[in-house]
Each structure stands twice: as structure tokens, then as C-alpha cells.
Amino acid sequence: MMDTLAKTGLPFMKMHGAGNDFVVIDSRGRGAVMTAGLARALGDRNRGVGFDQLAEITDAEGADFGLVFWNSDGSQAGACGNATRCVSDYMMRDLGAERVSLVTARGGLRAERGGDGRVWVNMGQPQLDWQSIPLVRDVDHLHLPLPGDPVAVGMGNPHCVHFVQDAEAVDLATLGPKIEHDPLFPQRTNVEFASLVSHCRMRMRVWERGTGITLACGSGACATAVAGHLRGMIGPRVTLEADGGLLEVDWRDDGVWLTGPVARVFDGVLPADYVAAQR
């Protein structure tokens, strides 16, 4: 693998879903190439490429492909809904298929192209018990003992969802990191603030663990939709207004489905010496 990289460098794609941006590296057939150091270097928006998350496509037994997610601080993310949509769109085109199966840290997932061309991803059922979210102790996940009466939801990664009168008025840059590192969350947490627009629409802003403020978050949209439905605020299908665009969530009997816009912005190649220096 390293001999190949020394000759050709490391190809990558830049993609985004509603402004939630990703570097995508296709490692199929050559083994995983990502490391924490390389993820941090690439995630630097001044000295690297810049991304909210990095998605590495891998070979997967019993599925069309696997996905491993990295945050810009070099930590791994258990789930990333928008990156999963973007990569599934790419893989459907690559494989000439209308549906694909994939494996993430969450387990087996599937995606399919709808009649309007949009890609829907089944993110699985939400994790609602304290050990799976996870929390450090058994508390009421619908009413956490934290300021703002938030809801905890797991979507393969932990989320702390706050319902507020006006999401625009929240000082996300200050509150986000404090809540991310609250001792109640042993693996840190993503943080959402949402306000009700109608019975089928909410405004959402998000702080992602390991990254910071992002323009959208697919797993965060799913968690917000689940929390809002469990609180009786919205129905099972809802449109989320994120900073970067609209995401749609449909909580069905077989899981939480997510869709929204997909864009492949550009392709590039990382020089071999740059890759080697970060490993």
C-alpha cells in the first residue's frame, strides 16, 4: 500500500451535505490508510483541506462497503448521517445500484435512492437506554438533570438535544463545548438546540463533539427528530432547518431515515510526502 502511495499519492473527494463538509477517501482494495495524525492534518482549514468529518470507505464482508468516520481533532466518530448519505450517493453511482448496504461502528445500515433522486439512509433505531447512549448513570433520558431540561438520544453517537424558544438566540460557541464535556457523557456528546416552527418543522443548530459548530449534522437531525417526537412536539416525519440547508427525517418502524442535499465539490490527490509526514 505504501509503495503505491509513494508513486501516486492519496486520492480524495471533497463533498458536503447541507454545508456539512467532508473529505472522503476510498481505501477499498488497499487497506485502511487513515491515522489520527493524518485526520488532524487534513482537518486543518488553514494548513490542510478542511472538513467537519472525514469518511474512509473500506471493504466490508457481507456488505457493499464499510465506513470509518474521523473528526477534525483526530478522534473517531461512531456515526455521521450526512457523510453516509454523500458516500452512499457516490457508491450507488460507482456500483450502478439504486440501493446499497454498508457497515459502520453502529453496525449494518442501508441506503436507497428515492423517486426524486435523493438518497435516503436508514440510520437504525435510536438508542434510548442510558448504557447505549451512553450516559454515566441511569437517569431519565427524556429529562436530563442538566440546565435546559435536555433529552439524550444515541444514534451511534451521543446527542444532547435542547428545545428552546429561539435557536438563533443561543450562544452556541459558549454552551456547546461546556455541554460536550459534561461529566454525564463519558464519550462526550454532540449538542443540539432546536425551536419549533410547526408540527412538522423545526429550526436546529448544532455543536459537534471533536469539531465544533457545523452547518448541519445528519445524526443530530435524527436525534432532534426523535427527541421532539418523544416529547410530543412533532410527528414522526419532520423537516429540520439547519444553518446549511434542509434535512428531512422520517422515523419509521424499521429505523430513522434521513435525506437531504448531496454535493461532490472537487477531487484531489494528496502528495505522498505530505501523507507520510503525518502518519
Just list the catalytic residues: 80, 217
C-alpha cell of residue 139: 437517569
C-alpha cell of residue 163: 428545545
How far is Cα 20 from Cα 263, in angstroms, rounded to an integer? 10
Torsion sign, CA atoms 57, 189, 262, 98: positive
C-alpha cell of residue 140: 431519565
How far is Cα 74 from Cα 76, in angstroms, rounded to an integer? 7
Strand partners, 47: none
Q: Which of 19, 41, 38 is nearest to 27 (CA)?
A: 38
